[in-house]
Amino acid sequence: MSKKDIFDKRVPLLDLVKKINLWVSKKGTLHGVKEIEERGSFIIVRTHCNAVSRGRNSKNSRRARWLRQRRYITPCKKCKIPDWKLKRFAGKKS
């Protein structure tokens, strides 16, 4: 599977988050995903720092766009996302 497949534009947010196990908050903080649940047209995400966040399960939401474009402002310190995961997310070859 190539990186292109992982960040396919047609993939809804739920599938995207399930694949990469990362979540970006409204402020641009990147969190690690502990649990994810589908509820109607929304998804509920529990992060490793025990925050619960809700997002629309859309291909075109701002959040889906950020995750696809590998954008975030800062990684969450409490989630302790491993370096390799951040590098993979950023698309760098370690």
Name the residues that contact Zn ion, by CB under 5 A.
31, 47, 49, 76, 78-79
Q: Which is nearer to Zn ion, 45 or 79 (CB)?
A: 79
Residue nearest to Zn ion according to CB distances in the complex: 76
At its nearest, how many Å lie between Zn ion and the CB of residue 37?
17
At its nearest, how many Å lie between Zn ion and the CB of residue 52?
11
CA 60 to chain centre: 14
At its nearest, how many Å lie between Zn ion and the CB of residue 49?
3
Tokens of 32: 């690690």
List 47's β-bridge partners, or say none.
Answer: 33
- Quick check: 49 and 81 in contact, CB under 8 A? no
- Candidates 28, 45, 30; CA nearest to 77 is 30
Q: Which is nearer to Zn ion, 59 or 78 (CB)?
A: 78
